[in-house]
Amino acid sequence: MAIMTSQEIALQYFKRLLKASNPKAELEKILNDINSLKFSDSDKPVDSATKIRVINELEKLVKKSPRPSTRSLDGIRTFSESKGSAQASDNSDILDVISAMKKKVS
């Protein structure tokens, strides 16, 4: 299997987040996944700095997520689009949780 970059891992998590019916609960699952990441070549846990890089990349993707009625990467819908909201959303509650995740990496 090819080695994935922090950006590729974050994109996978971002796609999961967009599909989630409860994004905050999904972020908890994502944090658990991040804390259990291992290097494929040594099977050793990744260091905290690498985990933070993944979270930072996820945060960038959420910040770039466009307003409703527009499309982001590969036609992925935004949080508010995927929930059928007609209101613009700045995703600030999601970004707050992502910011808190940085303090919880082990």
**Tens of pLDDT, residue by residue, the chain (106 residues):** 467 899 999 999 999 999 999 999 999 999 999 999 998 889 999 999 999 999 999 999 999 886 433 334 444 555 555 544 434 456 888 999 999 999 999 7
Q: What is the pLDDT of residue 38?
A: 93
Q: What is the pLDDT of residue 68?
A: 39
Q: How far apart are CA 96 and CA 106, in angstroms?
A: 19
The answer to whether 4 and 10 are in contact (CB under 8 A) is: no
Q: What is the pLDDT of residue 79?
A: 54
